[in-house]
Amino acid sequence: MRCQTTQVQKELVDTVVDALQEGGFVFLQGDVFEVVVDMRQKFAEHPDLEDTLFSKDELSEWIYDEDIDETRVDRWLPENPLQVPTDRERLVISEGSPVYRCLLEKKPKKSS
């Protein structure tokens, strides 16, 4: 089931990416699969960002797959790279539910 409303708007993505230094990261995390997939897709569509686990083509193919499988742990970071869990993250993990995490990096500008 796909998320019916967009949680992240293009304007937010543009603002975050513009403020981010080259080589900086956007860390996305959540426990509602459809919402995190939507956020990841919106950020991955930005031309200056690169998903740390997938190429844009691989990610696009996976996201638009009608049989998207939320149990595929290889699609997500296994640990919080900040190493400081949020209260929500601790609660979700204590209940035995998954937390979906991804990291996108701002690519350096190509010199002309």
Cα–Cα distance measured from residue 95 to residue 33, given in angstroms and rounded to the nearest whole number: 16
Query: Each residue's pLDDT tens digit in the chain (112 positions)?
Result: 444 555 789 999 999 999 999 999 999 999 999 899 899 999 999 999 999 988 877 877 776 665 666 667 678 999 999 999 999 999 999 999 999 999 999 998 876 6
CB atoms under 10 Å from CB of 101, counted, come to 19
59 φ, ψ (degrees, to nearest 5): -65, -45
Characterize 46-68 residue by residue with b for buried, 16 or more Cβ atoms within 10 angstroms of its Cβ, and e for exposed: bebbbbebbeeeebeebbeeeee
The pTM of this model reads 0.82
3-state helix, strand, coil in the chain (%, to 5): 35, 15, 50
